[in-house]
């Protein structure tokens, strides 16, 4: 028996899974990325995930696919990653040397989009876009049934400027979508309001969270009607809608997939605001041409896409 490993390296966690010949997950493992402890620690966490999977199976590992944030070149080199300590870093080469199997690395959101594409009926779709708000806001573009990467760094939908002169983003720009619609941006906005003395059920969760707040905690606060949570999350939905409108006006695509940790947890809460803002900012008639779908793989899009990427490449 043989299998493939799909790896999803995020700013918060490293998720890995072993897929058998039937494409089923037979083992999965998750560790914190521990970005704040530096590159060696991040690599140690990645190796822990892979080691645990390797130790848990007798199957022959045919290859490892992985998604990483950032600009990836030639399937192995991470040129730059916004939330990880990778810079001109041969992530693929290092994993390949340690485990002696073929390895392919892709941009995390592109890889997730590839996964969505492979499980859906998306083969019939020519032009599709992915918008994935989570720790950051990822994007992916499929043009004429191919992943579009331009010169390598395309589809940075999270860094579309939706409010010039607005909130600062981690990238240095004022007014990026990511500054409003990522958990990082939302946490910063809520913290800023708490400092002004505003009250929120999120107060303890945010002050106690060493890292990024969980989507499920945001969802509970929103559903309880917490004024601050509703205000900030409605603003996130509004700017996501502006971004979606811009994508519709620019691409007139067949399909837009909304995914990522936030849509997964809070699709019901965010979607009405997204679609309302999208409708008021698209050219007449164009929005109705576009199919919208929530990510069907949810958290598994990354590992599944990574698995399909290496499997399809080897086969």
Q: Quick one: which segment of 36-44, 169-177, 184-192, 293-301 binds a second copy (CB under 8 A)?
A: 169-177
Q: Is there binding between residue 232 and a second copy (CB under 8 A)?
A: no
* 167, 176, 178, 179, 230 from 163: Cα distances, Å: 8, 7, 11, 10, 20
Q: Which of 39, 199, 250, 294 binds a second copy (CB under 8 A)?
A: 250
Q: Is there binding between residue 175 and a second copy (CB under 8 A)?
A: yes
Q: Is there binding between residue 251 and a second copy (CB under 8 A)?
A: yes
Q: Is there binding between residue 84 and a second copy (CB under 8 A)?
A: no
For the bound state, the minimum distance from the C-beta of residue 278 to a second copy, rounded and expressed in Å, comes to 10
Q: Is there binding between residue 152 and a second copy (CB under 8 A)?
A: yes
Q: Quick one: which segment of 96-104, 139-147, 196-204, 206-214 binds a second copy (CB under 8 A)?
A: 139-147
Cβ(7)–Cβ(13) below 8 Å: no
Number of residues that bind a second copy (CB under 8 A): 45
Cβ(178)–Cβ(185) below 8 Å: yes
Cβ(117)–Cβ(146) below 8 Å: no
Cα-Cα-Cα-Cα dihedral sign, residues 152, 155, 161, 166: negative
For the bound state, the minimum distance from the C-beta of residue 140 to a second copy, rounded and expressed in Å, comes to 11
Cβ(92)–Cβ(82) below 8 Å: no
Q: Is there binding between residue 219 and a second copy (CB under 8 A)?
A: no
Q: x-or-dash pattern for a second copy, window 276-315, by CB under 8 A?
A: ----xxxxxxx--x--------------------------
- CA separation for the pair 156, 124 (Å, rounded): 25
Q: Is there binding between residue 133 and a second copy (CB under 8 A)?
A: no
Question: Chain centroid to CA 45: how far?
Answer: 19
Query: Could you tell me the end-to-end alpha-carbon distance of the chain, in angstroms, rounded to an integer?
Result: 16
Q: Is there binding between residue 108 and a second copy (CB under 8 A)?
A: no
For the bound state, the minimum distance from the C-beta of residue 288 to a second copy, rounded and expressed in Å, comes to 11
For the bound state, the minimum distance from the C-beta of residue 102 to a second copy, rounded and expressed in Å, comes to 27
Q: Is there binding between residue 60 and a second copy (CB under 8 A)?
A: no
Q: Is there binding between residue 197 and a second copy (CB under 8 A)?
A: no
Closest CA to 268 of 301, 246, 237: 237
Q: Is there binding between residue 256 and a second copy (CB under 8 A)?
A: no
How many residues are there in the chain? Answer: 315
Tokens at 12, concatenated: 């918060």
CB atoms closer than 10 angstroms to residue 268:
12
Q: Is there binding between residue 147 and a second copy (CB under 8 A)?
A: no
**Residue 80 or residue 99: which is nearer to a second copy going by CB?**
80
CB atoms closer than 10 angstroms to residue 47:
17
Q: Is there binding between residue 171 and a second copy (CB under 8 A)?
A: yes
Q: Which of 12, 20, 120, 173 binds a second copy (CB under 8 A)?
A: 173
For the bound state, the minimum distance from the C-beta of residue 292 to a second copy, rounded and expressed in Å, comes to 14
- CA separation for the pair 194, 206 (Å, rounded): 10
**Residue 251 or residue 292: which is nearer to a second copy going by CB?**
251
CB-based burial label for 225 (10 Å; 0-12, 13-18, 19+): exposed
Strand-pairing partners, residue 258, are 131, 294
Q: Is there binding between residue 88 and a second copy (CB under 8 A)?
A: no
Sequence-separated (6 or more) residues with CB below 8 Å from residue 32: 12, 13, 14, 45, 211
Judged by the rule CB under 8 A, the positions of this chain that interact with a second copy are 80, 127, 139, 141, 143-144, 148-157, 159-164, 171-173, 175, 238-239, 242, 245-246, 249-254, 280-286, 289
């Amino acid at each position: 028996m043989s299998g493939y490993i799909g790896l999803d390296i995020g700013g918060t966690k490293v998720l890995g899974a072993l897929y058998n010949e039937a494409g089923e997950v037979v083992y999965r493992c998750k560790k914190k990325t521990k970005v704040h402890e530096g590159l060696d620690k991040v690599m140690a966490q990645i190796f822990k995930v892979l080691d645990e999977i390797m130790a848990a199976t007798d199957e022959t590992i045919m290859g490892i696919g992985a998604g990483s944030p950032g600009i990836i070149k030639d399937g192995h080199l991470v040129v730059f990653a916004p939330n990880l300590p990778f810079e001109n870093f041969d992530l693929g080469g290092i994993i390949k040397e340690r485990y002696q199997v073929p390895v392919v690395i892709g941009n995390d959101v592109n890889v997730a989009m590839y996964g969505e594409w492979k499980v859906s009926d998306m083969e019939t779709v020519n032009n599709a876009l992915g918008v994935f708000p989570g720790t950051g806001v990822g994007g992916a573009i499929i043009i004429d049934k191919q992943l579009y990467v331009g010169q390598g760094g395309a589809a940075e939908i999270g860094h579309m400027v939706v409010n010039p002169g607005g909130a600062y983003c981690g990238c240095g720009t004022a007014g990026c979508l990511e500054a409003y619609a990522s958990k990082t941006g939302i946490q910063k906005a809520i913290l800023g309001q708490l400092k002004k003395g505003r009250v929120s059920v999120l107060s303890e969760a945010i002050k106690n969270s060493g890292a990024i707040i969980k989507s499920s905690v945001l969802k509970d606060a929103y559903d309880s009607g917490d004024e601050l949570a509703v205000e900030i999350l409605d603003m996130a939905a509004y700017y996501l809608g502006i971004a979606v409108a811009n994508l519709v006006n620019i691409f007139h695509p067949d399909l837009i997939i909304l995914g990522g940790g936030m849509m997964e947890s809070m699709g019901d809460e965010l979607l009405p605001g997204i679609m309302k803002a999208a409708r008021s900012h698209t050219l007449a008639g164009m929005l109705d041409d576009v199919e919208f779908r929530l990510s069907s793989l949810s958290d598994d899009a990354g590992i599944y896409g990574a698995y399909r990427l290496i499997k399809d490449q080897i086969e």
